[in-house]
Chain A
Amino acid sequence: MRDNKKGDTVKKKVVKRATATGRTIGQHNINLVVNGNPYELLIGKDVNPEHTLAYTLRETLGYTGTKISCDHGACGACTVLMDGKPVLSCMTLTIECDRRSVTTIEGLEDPKTGKLHPIQQAFIDHTAFQCGFCTPGIIMSSKALLDENPSPSKQEIEDALAGHYCRCISHYHVLDAVSDVIRKSEVK
């Protein structure tokens, strides 16, 4: 199976890196940080007004870990974090994302050590997925929840994840996994 290398190409060849201060160069561009990497996307070239953030992440920048299922704001599969808050990237236009910082599923693993985020590890330990297509979105919402509230109740977890559609029914194992992360962080 071939990897999608498009993202690297765009980053290097089409998209100019933003300056060290993150200032915008020119008038018609979107400065976006994804998983710590700054991108400058030219409107009309890299980004069209109708492009959703999900489209830009997947098709322009190659972050295919973000999944599109309904493309309609109903299923939660495309959830990413924008400045720490969970957003539906299929309902967010890229041109609205200037000077925003986005975290996708690819941004949770430590890039140097390869160590997984505790939520990722807990999902593996509890087999908290089946087909795995909804998993990146659920992990991102779980992270947003635990960043804001490190000790949510079961009800709070269920409410925070209620926007995610899992058709295989891995919900019960997801709840176990998230609870496990909470328990381990409380022990520390």
Chain B
Amino acid sequence: MSAEYRFIGKATPRKDARDITTGRAKYINDISVPHMLYGKVLRSRHPHANIKDIDTSKAKALAGVKAVLTWKDVPDWKVGNPLHLRVLDSKVRFVGDTVALVAAETEEIACEALELIDVDYDILPAVYDVEKATEKGAPQLYDQFPDNILPPIAPFMGDNVLQNIVIGDTEAGFREADVISEGTYAYENIPNPLPPEPPGAVAEWESPDTVHLWISSQGPYFDRMTLFYMLGRKVNVKVTACQCGGSYGSKGNSSPIFLQAIMLAKASGRPVKLCLTKEEHLNAFTLRLGSRIQGKVGMKKDGTVTAISGNWLVNTGYYSLITQGQVAVGLGEAQLIVRCRNWDLKSKVVCTNRNASGWIRGFGGQELISALFLLLSDAMQKADIDPFEFFRKNFVKYGDSTIWRDGLWWTSKVIDFTKSMDKGAEAFDWYKKWQGWLKPTSINGTKRRGIGVGVLGNADAGEDVSESLIRLDPTHHAMLYTSICEQGTGQRSSLCKMAAEVLQIPPEHVYIVPQDPSVSPYDFGSVGSRGTYAMGAGVIKAAEDAKQKLFELAAPLLNAGAELLDTRDGMIFIKDKPEKIIPWRTAMGVTRTIFGYGRHEPDFSLCNILMSFVEVEVDIETGKIDLIRVVNATDVGQIIDPPCLENQLNSCIGSAAIDSAIFEETVLDDSNGRMLTANLIDYKWRTFADLPEIKNVILETPFPSHRFGAVGVGEITTAPGPSAVLMAVSNATGRRITEYPATPDRILKALGKL
């Protein structure tokens, strides 16, 4: 397909490439403002306690300390859905919760001041388990949420947000089934997405009603808007997004940090930088949702799913920023993966006394399917169904109707995904390797290999609104105005490339404004794989609008209708008479610029796909797992930038992804609520020395999305892998392994060796 296009589908250097490789790119902690102070947070040592008394007098007396804030000193600013968590509260709800804030001339002084704050706690009992938290008599985190259950609302997704799938008649469905599986399965080892750059902000009040905030973010316009509401609709929040040192969704949860920096800047009258350390990042920033399903599934021998019922318990930790929204997307995605007429799957979002779970790529879907697939695979095993065949049959097809996150029925307009699945199976050699359930692919001494497969699709690829402006300059350049920031996907560069293709000028002649929503129009953010379709559509429309206006100016000069004109490299010509040609600057004059506007309206009729095939080798003497090979299969309609797409697909082994099934986890000591893995020595990751072979099979069947027929896939690449790994480990060992991660002790225990 790429041959049709001049720039689309070809590798072009990222616009920020030189800045990144020379150290010039400015990340949040590289920002320095004159007279800037450093903020630090006093964190709770207790998982649940009321603050009886707090004495900050010694801290305030320390030379260099400019502000000390406790819950008594600050406005009633709240975060959460609904707004329920006071940014500084009289109660702490997890080990690491915010007790007090300090701003000082140096970080050392700020840290010293923290030690001088005396806190008298009234310690309360704590609860960590999602089921125990809902039992009568369980410790209550919030008075307004009985049984620690949050209300099933997510206003930013509409008034009817999907929290339960109730469709058809499950009793009838179970009667039709050849096999029924029932049980409780969980994906609740709460891995940390852990971007290399910890979250942070710099705040500076410019006037009593204007605050300038530098942030590390994934959606600066969205942050600006939510902060405006959180600050009581009275403050103009000027947001400057910095180069983002990784997010994977997680930095969407930064609003408490932003508000803390804003509070300290207000109290001290000086700019304040508040960047978390890596320990704070691990202890007190976002984890994946805890996901537990108590479910029942009915299946026919041909792989038809006749009914799914159950309760999905979602552990959101000490508060929910938008967990109910993640539940909505997860439930929508479940319907894309499993075509089933009868559903009765109900969710509960529950608070517990641990660090908060929230917004991470995979956004509810990874958490749900990693548990749900264990239930489905039990039924597949009973019915002796090849899981690849199952997914191939059950993944959403053109014309299927599903209820999406907004509670509305959407009819799918997707392309035929079975082609990409088949190509993936071929590249992986699935049919040759598949030996049946609990059967290894090969045995070599103590080493046994097994294979597994998983899949996910997300109809958020066209979610929410994106607006863009494009300015044409008489120098034959264009300026793209967008609030989109760069967190690693190369999206800002890819959008410039799309504009370049429409305008037929080299991508290096398309500039992009800084990441500043004071300048640029609305954009929801670089989330949910929406960059390619939703943002792309806005940019394309803006470029087309600008080009139309350019042609209208050129038409009288060329004595031809605007519809007969075309442009290339800053020249406008009549399509049929290319010798009739004038430059942009003649059409525009040297004192004019042209603005084009584009807007994408939400569309949930198109989903993306990623199918991951994995092969593992398990040493049955030691229980160690080696990830040997991953094949990812997808169809993206049209590749925009090959290396950026490959990078995103390789992320399948990245943040809180495949390795959350092998070794990656957050370990919480439930005797005291403390995290035992809160540093980068104890929180394990995969290194250059442990890379599996990854092959990405990418098809390009045009989608009915925008003029390039593309959809994005980056957000979901972490999602199908974990459940595929447990399937592969089970097949390698001959024992069902159903706990994440499959650490050596769990494998040896399953083998009866421990």
Chain A residues proximal to chain B, CB less than 8 Å: 1-6, 48, 50, 58, 63-72, 74-75, 77, 104-106, 108-109, 116, 120, 123-127, 129-136, 139, 157-159, 161-175
In the bound complex, what is the Cα–Cα distance between A173 and B685 (angstroms)? 18
Q: A1-B240, A120-B21 are in contact. Are A169 and B647 (CB under 8 A)?
A: yes
A127 pairs with B643, CB closer than 8 A: yes
Q: Which residue of B lies closest to A75 (CB)?
A: B680
- On whether the beta carbons of A167 and B654 are closer than 8 Å, the reply is yes
Q: Is B30 within 8 A of A173, CB to CB?
A: no
Q: Are A173 and B196 in contact (CB under 8 A)?
A: no
- Whether B246 pairs with A169 at a CB distance below 8 angstroms is no
Task: Tell me if B342 is interfacial: C-beta within 8 Å of chain A.
Answer: no
B275 to chain A: closest residue by CB: A68
CB-CB under 8 A for A71 and B246, given A124-B21, A167-B685, A172-B691: no
* CB-CB under 8 A for A72 and B23, given A127-B14, A167-B685: no
Report A-chain residues with C-beta under 8 Å of the C-beta of B198: 69
Partner of A74, one of B20, B32, B245, B679: B679
- Which chain B residues have a beta carbon within 8 Å of chain A's beta carbons? 11, 13-14, 16-18, 20-27, 29-33, 108, 193-198, 214, 240, 242-248, 277-278, 487-490, 514, 641, 643-644, 646-648, 650-655, 679-681, 685, 687-689, 691, 694
Question: What is the minimal beta-carbon distance from A47 to any residue of chain B, in angstroms?
Answer: 13
Q: Are B20 and A135 in contact (CB under 8 A)?
A: yes
Query: Which residue of chain B lies nearest to A175 when distances are taken between CB atoms in the complex?
Result: B688
From residue B725, how far is it (CB to closest CB) to chain A in Å?
A: 16
Q: Are B17 and A127 in contact (CB under 8 A)?
A: yes
Kindly state the separation between the CA atoms of A103 and B288 in the bound complex, as whole angstroms: 38
Residues of chain A within 8 A (CB-CB) of B16 are 132
Complex Cα gap A157–B687 (Å): 12
With contact pairs A67-B245, A127-B490, A127-B644 given, residues A74 and B681 touching in the complex (Cβ less than 8 Å)? yes
Sort A-B residue pairs by CB-CB distance and give the 3 closest, nearest first.
Answer: A65-B23, A133-B245, A131-B488
Chain A residues near B196: list those with CB within 8 A.
67, 69, 75, 77, 131, 133-134, 165-167
Bound state CA distance, A63 and B26, in angstroms? Answer: 11
Decide if the interface of chain A is mainly helix, strand, loop or mixed: loop
B651 touches A168 (CB 8 A): yes
Query: Can you offer 22 A-B residue contacts whose CB atoms are under 8 A?
Result: A1-B26, A1-B514, A2-B31, A64-B30, A69-B680, A70-B680, A104-B23, A106-B22, A108-B22, A129-B20, A129-B21, A130-B490, A131-B243, A133-B27, A133-B195, A134-B196, A159-B689, A162-B687, A162-B688, A168-B655, A173-B646, A174-B688
Contact at B25–A132, with CB atoms within 8 Å? yes
Query: Chain A residues near B31 (CB, 8 Å)?
Result: 1-2, 4
- If A4-B31, A125-B13, A132-B243 touch, whether A116 touches B18 (CB-CB below 8 Å) is yes
Please give, as numbers and ranges, the residues of chain B lying within 8 Å of A132 by CB-CB distance: 16, 20-21, 25, 243, 245, 488
Residues of B within 8 A of A72 (CB): 278, 679-681
**Assembly CA distance A159 to B687 (angstroms):** 9
The reply to whether A69 and B278 form a contact with Cβ atoms under 8 Å apart is yes
| Cβ contact of A165, chosen from B247, B644, B680, cutoff 8 A | B680
- A2 lies within 8 A of B32 (CB): yes
Closest to B656 in A: A167
Q: Is B489 within 8 A of A164, CB to CB?
A: no
Cα of A48 to Cα of B106 in the assembled complex, Å:
12
- A58 partner residues in chain B, CB cutoff 8 A: 29-30
- Among candidates A1, A2, A135, residue contacting B21 with C-beta atoms closer than 8 Å: A135
CB distance from B412 to the nearest CB of A (A): 30
Instruction: Out of B214, B650, B681, name the residue touching A172 (CB < 8 Å).
Output: B650
Contact A167 B195 (CB under 8 A): yes
- B644: which A residues are within 8 A, CB to CB? 127
Interface majority SS on B: helix, strand, loop or mixed? loop
Cβ-defined contact, B651 with A3, below 8 A: no
Q: In the bound complex, what is the Cα–Cα distance between A1 and B648 (angstroms)?
A: 27
- Given A75-B196, A127-B644, A167-B654, decide whether A6 and B488 contact each other with a Cβ distance below 8 A: no
Q: In the complex, A175→B694 CA distance in Å?
A: 13
Beta-carbon contact of A126 and B32 below 8 Å: no
Q: Are A131 and B13 within 8 A (Cβ)?
A: no
Bound-complex Cα distance A67 to B275 (A)? 13
A133 proximity list for chain B (CB < 8 A): 27, 195-197, 245-246
Q: Are B681 and A130 in contact (CB under 8 A)?
A: no
Q: Is the CB of A165 within 8 A of B22?
A: no
Known: A72-B681, A77-B196, A172-B691. A130 touches B489 (CB 8 A): yes
User: Is B691 within 8 A of A165, CB to CB?
Assistant: no
Q: Which of B14, B33, B108, B654 contacts A169 (CB 8 A)?
A: B654
Q: Are A126 and B643 in contact (CB under 8 A)?
A: yes
CB of B197 within 8 A of CB of A136, answer no
Could you say which of A50, A105, A130 has the most chain B C-beta atoms within 10 Å of its C-beta? A130
Cα–Cα, bound, A161→B278 (Å)? 21
Closest Cβ of chain B: how far from A153's Cβ, in Å?
A: 13
Closest beta carbon of chain B to A112's beta carbon, Å: 15
Docked pose: A105 CA to B655 CA in angstroms: 26
Complex Cα gap A171–B601 (Å): 36
A50 CA to B109 CA in the complex, in Å? 13
B residues near A162, Cβ cutoff 8 Å: 687-689
- Report the Cα distance A65→B30, complex, angstroms: 8
Q: Please report the C-alpha to C-alpha distance between residue A5 and residue B648 in the assembled complex, in whole angstroms.
A: 34
- Contact residues in A for B688 (Cβ distance below 8 Å): 157-159, 161-162, 164, 171, 174-175
Chain A: CB-nearest residue to B241 = A1
Interchain nearest-CB distance for B198 vs A (Å): 8
B659 vs chain A, min Cβ distance (A): 11
What separation, in Å, do the CA atoms of A129 and B197 have in the docked complex?
14
Report how far A110 CA is from B31 CA in the complex, Å: 25
Bound: A104/B23 CA distance, A: 9
CA–CA, A66 and B30, complex, Å? 10
Q: How far is the CA of A131 from the CA of B647 in the complex (A)?
A: 11
- Among A3, A161, A167, max chain B CB count under 10 A is at A167
Given contacts A75-B196, A129-B20, A1 and B214 within 8 Å (CB-CB): yes
User: What residues of B have a CB within 8 angstroms of the CB of A71 in the complex?
Assistant: 277-278
> Which residues of A lie under 8 Å from residue B681 when comparing CB positions?
72, 74
The CA-CA distance from A126 to B20 in the complex, in Å, is 13
User: CA separation between A170 and B21, bound complex, in Å?
Assistant: 14
The residue of chain A having its C-beta at the shortest distance from the C-beta of B278 within the complex is A70
CB-CB < 8 A to A48: which residues of B?
108
Asked if A173 meets B643 with Cβ closer than 8 Å, knowing A124-B13, A127-B17, the reply is: yes
Structural contact, A69 and B197, CB atoms closer than 8 A = yes
Q: Are A139's CB and B21's CB within 8 A?
A: yes
Contact across chains for A70 and B197 when beta carbons are under 8 A apart:
no
Q: Are A165 and B242 in contact (CB under 8 A)?
A: no
Of A63, A74, A157, most B-chain CB atoms within 10 Å: A74
B247 — which chain A residues lie within 8 A by C-beta?
131
A75 shortest CB reach to chain B, Å: 5
A165 to B655, CA, bound (A): 11
Residue of A120, A169, A171 with highest tally of chain B CB at under 10 A? A169
